[in-house]
Amino acid sequence: MSKKMNQLKEILGEVSDLHHAASVLDWDQNVNMPPGGSEARGQQLATLGKIAHEKSTSDKVGNLLADLKTEFPDADSDEGALIRVSTREFEKAVRVPAKFVAKQAIATSKAFESWIEAKNKSDFAIFRPHLEEVVELVREYISFFPPADHPYDTLLDDYEPGMKTAEVQQIFETLRPKQVELIKAITSAKQVKDGFLYKKYNEKKVWNFSEQIITKFGYDWQRGRQDKAPHPFQTTFSVNDTRITNRYEANNPLATLYSAMHEAGHAMYEQGSNPAYERTPLAGGTSLAVHESQSRMWENMVGRSLPFCEHFFPTLKKTFPSKLGGVKLKQFYKAINKVEPSLIRVNADEATYNLHVMLRLEMEIGMVEEKFAIKDLPEIWNAKMNDYLGIVPPNDAQGVLQDVHWSSGLMGYFSTYALGNLISAQLWEKINEDMPDLDDQIRKGKFNELLGWLREKIHIYARKYDPQDLVQKVTGSKIDSAAYIRYLTQKYSEIYEL
C-alpha cells in the first residue's frame, strides 16, 4: 500500500475512533446516565465532535485525497471506493464550521433530555424551545451548502446519498394510493381478534424470549448486547461491538419481541461488514434505507410470517400458557398482522406503516421551509394523522412527541424507513428465487442460510457501493415500490380473504 494511503487511513482511523467514542457517550446517555448529566455530556460530545471535525477537514486530508484519486483510479476497488466515499464526506464536512458542530452537539444533548421529560409528562411545551433551537440549527446547516433543487435535499443526502426529495415524493405518490386502496379493502373485511396480545405478560420472560429469537437469527452476543432505553435503537462502536436497545411497553408487551428483531437486523448488518473496512468511512451500512431494509426484513418478512409462527409459537405458548393457552397458531399469526390505523409508528402494521413515514416527511419539509411554526406542530400533527389514518392522538406523548429523532437533529431521516420497506421486498423476492425452500428453513428455525445470503450480497460490501447501485447490483432494479405492493397484497389478501 502506498505511503499516502497509509497516511490517509491513519487520520481517518483517528476520526473514526473519535466518532465511536462519541457513540459510546450517546449510548450511555440513553441507557445509564442520570438526567443531571446532560449538560456535561453535551460538552463532552461537543469536544469530541469538534476535534473529529477539525481532523477530518484538515488541508492534509484534502491534499491526500486529491493525490490519491490519480493513484487509485479504479472505482470498483476497495481503495477507489474509500477515496470516493471519503472525498464526498470531506467535501461536505469542509463546508460546516467546527464551532457549529460543537454548538449542535450541546443543543441536541439538552434537547434529548427535554424530550424525555416532555414525553413522560405528555407536554410539548417542555420540548418546544429546544426543538426550535434544533430546527434553527438544521436550517443553518443547510445554508452552508450550495442551493439544491429543494433545501431538504441537503438533509436527505446525509442519510441516503444521491437521493433527491422529488424522487422520494414521487415514490410516495405512487405508493400511497395503492396502500390506501388495500387498507380500504381490509377495512370492509371481517376484522381479526387480537385481544390476547395485550394482556399482562411477564416482562422478564418477554425480554428473555426476545433474546432467544435473535440468537437463532444469528445475532452474535460475543459482539453485541441488548439494554433498555426510552426508544429502541442500534449503535456501532466497531464491527466487534454492535449493540441494541429495547423497551417493554405494559400496554403492548409483545412489541418487545419485534423491536428486538428489528434492531438485531440492523446489528447483524453491521456485524457482517467487511473487517478490512474497520476504522475507515467504508465501515457500516451504505445508507439508512438499506439499513432499514435489513431490520424490517427480519422484523416483518421473517418475524411476522406464518413459517416463523409455526416454529416459535408453540414455545411462546408454553412460556405464557395462561395468556395463549386457548389461542391457535393461525389466530396468533393473524393477530400479529392485524391491520388497523394506530397512533405509534414503531408499532404500526405493515399496511399502514408507510403512511406514518409520509406524514413525518411532510412535517420535516414544512419545518425546513418555515411553513410550519414549531408551536403549531401538535395541532398540525393531529390534523395530518386524521388525514392519513383517520385517527387523532389523545395527547402529545402518543402524537408529536413519540419519536426521539428530532431531539437529536435527525431531519432527513424518516423517509428512509419507507424506502427500506421497499428495498426489503425487492430483496425478499430475490432471496426466494435463490432459496426456494426458505419457508421450510424458517419453519424449522434455521436462519443461517438466509443470514449467509445477506452477508454475501449486502453486508460484506458495507459502504463500498452507493445504495441505488447496491440495490441494482443485487436485484436488477433501483429502489421501486412494485415488489412491496405485491408483497402486501398477497399477504393481506390471504389473511383477510380479500
Query: Annotated active-site positions, please?
Result: 263
Sheet holding 226-228, edge to edge: 226-228, 241-246, 234-238
Full DSSP string of 349-387? -HHHHHHHHHHHHHHHHHHHTT-S-GGGHHHHHHHHHHH
Question: Which are the contacts of 483, defined by CB distance < 8 A and separation ≥ 6?
Answer: 422, 425, 426, 428, 429
What are the b/e assignments for 176-206, b being 16+ CB within 10 Å? beebeebbebbeeeeebebebbbeebeeeeb
Q: Which helix (H) or strand (E) holds 246?
A: strand 241-246
Give ∠ CA 61-62-65 in degrees, rounded to 5: 85
What span, in angstroms and rounded, lies between the C-alpha atoms of 229 and 337? Answer: 26
Q: Is the dihedral of CA 225, 228, 230, 232 positive or negative?
A: positive
In the block, which residue shows the cell 390534523?
383
Q: What CA–CA distance (Å, rounded) separates 92 from 86? A: 10
Task: Evaluate whether 197 touches 254 at the Cβ level (below 8 Å).
Answer: yes
Neighbours of 143 (CB within 10 A): 11
Q: Do 142 and 365 meet the contact criterion of CB atoms below 8 Å apart?
A: no
Instruction: Look up residue 475 and give its amino acid.
Output: T
DSSP 86-121: HHHHHHHHTTS-HHHHHHHHHHHHHHHHHHHHHHHH
Residue that is written with C-alpha cell 467546527 in the block: 98
The size of the chain, in residues, is: 498
d(CA 352, CA 418): 11
End-to-end CA distance of the chain: 61
List beta partners, residue 226. Answer: 244
| Cell output for 486 | 405485491
Q: Does residue 224 sit in helix, strand or coil?
A: coil
Cβ atoms within 10 Å, residue 55: 17
